[in-house]
Amino acid sequence: MSPEALFRLDGRVALVTGASSGLGVAFARALAAAGARVVVAARRTALLDRTVADIESAGGEALAIKADISDPEQCRAAVGHACDRFGGVDVLVNNAGIGTAVPATRETPEQFRAVVDVNLHGAYWMAQACAAVMPPGSSIVNVSSVLALTTAGLPQAAYTASKAGLIGLTRDLAQQWGPRKGIRVNAVAPGFFETEMTEQYSADYIDTVITPRLLLGRFGSPAEIAGVGVWLASPAGGFVTGQTIVVDGGMAIT
């Protein structure tokens, strides 16, 4: 295959969760640009429709599905809709996630469970639903976080625990489904990117805590993490499984 063909996803169907904003939109657009038909899922349907419109205006095909991935039945229903519309699922990007910044001495069980239910349990339910219909050669990309590997000065026990758990889940599913199903399972661990989420941080926090740890001296562009997702989903990443690819501008090693 030519270098260009290695990164193509023509004829593939990709499902991206949390595709109503931020990195989820970037993943969806990049997969569509690589030739995949894309199913975007999230709880906010109005924003999902905007993602679909963006993909279709660029000549791609997309379908929006409202889904709360913390509910296993809604995960199975989303996969069913993808199969009905496009005939199957070949790529899953488990991007949906939420977080809190609550001191551990004050965090309630409900707050902690809500984060884990989406970030870890939800990723598992969606992977489980997709694996039931995925053919050999399919790929799952779980979106973890650099905060699974380091800290960033905020009290984020639920978020970091759930994202660290996702790395362990990635390894286990890779060893289960690689030999039996021919499904590759990897994770990406993004650092700080220019998205709606990072806009919520104060300038003082960014300037004093985060920027000094970024070896490249800047936040990442969403396209820079989306490209890694395309690589892991495409034939170019065909011999990669069970891995966590850290895309953080060097933050985890400072």
Is 201 tagged catalytic?
no
Given strand 62-66, what is the order of strands in its sheet? 62-66, 37-42, 13-17, 91-94, 139-143, 184-190, 244-247
DSSP category for residue 220: B
CA 92 to each of CA 23, 75, 126, 131, 191: distance values in angstroms, whole numbers, following the listed order: 14, 12, 8, 9, 21
Q: Check residue 88 and give left, alpha or beta (phi > 0: left; psi -120 to 50: alpha).
A: left
Calpha distance 230→184 (Å, rounded): 13
Calpha distance 138→131 (Å, rounded): 9
Show which residues are catalytic.
159
